[in-house]
Amino acid sequence: MAQKLTPTPILTLVALGVVAGVTVFVLVSLLIRSGASPISVHFLLFLAPLLIGVAVAWQAWLVRAYKLGRRAMDPIYAARIWVLTQATSRAGALMAGGAGGIAVAYWLGGPTSFLTEHAINAALAAVGSLIMTVLAVVGERWCMVDDDGQPESTQAAGA
């Protein structure tokens, strides 16, 4: 018996983000306290996840148009986009948690201009990753098929 495909639970994404955030916070805090040089976080780091999220959402929008019968598409390609949205949402949650952990560790690490500047950069990266996650979750819902496994356009044509 085949198991029904379901969207990624939001609680799973929150758990991934929290675990990644706490783990990275502890590791970076230990790094700073040991006297090692903190890792530099570039201020444009937020752009990559943001652009990835937009690209994945665009592809999911095309799958949505296919489901509504407005666009032709290979069903295998549509399934691949759905898998991509799931992977992107999970990766985004991990990245948001990790960047958030770095931001908090740097913010609490001491009142140096380097740590303060890079804490802000890491916080921006966390926001970009969070936006990527949200776009992927929305895209995942756009790619889902109805309960009987048929796209909406096929159901309407059969009725």
Tell me the per-residue pLDDT of 76-115, one tens digit each, with 9 for 90 and over.
Answer: 998 999 999 999 999 999 999 999 999 999 999 877 899 9
Q: At what angle do helices 113-143 and 10-33 cross, to 10 degrees?
A: 160
Task: Output the pLDDT for position 159.
Answer: 40
For the whole model, what pTM was predicted?
Answer: 0.85
Spatial contact of 101 and 20, defined as CB atoms under 8 Å apart: yes
CA 57 – CA 88 distance, rounded (Å): 10
Residues 6+ apart with CB under 8 A from 113: none
Mean pLDDT of the chain: 88
Task: Output the pLDDT for position 59.
Answer: 96
Residues in the chain: 159
User: What percent of the chain has pLDDT above 70?
Assistant: 88
Task: Output the pLDDT for position 155.
Answer: 45
User: What percent of the chain has pLDDT above 90?
Assistant: 69
Dihedral sign computed on CA atoms, order 103, 106, 109, 111: negative
Task: Output the pLDDT for position 158.
Answer: 45
- If you average pLDDT over residues 20-41, what whole number do you get? 92
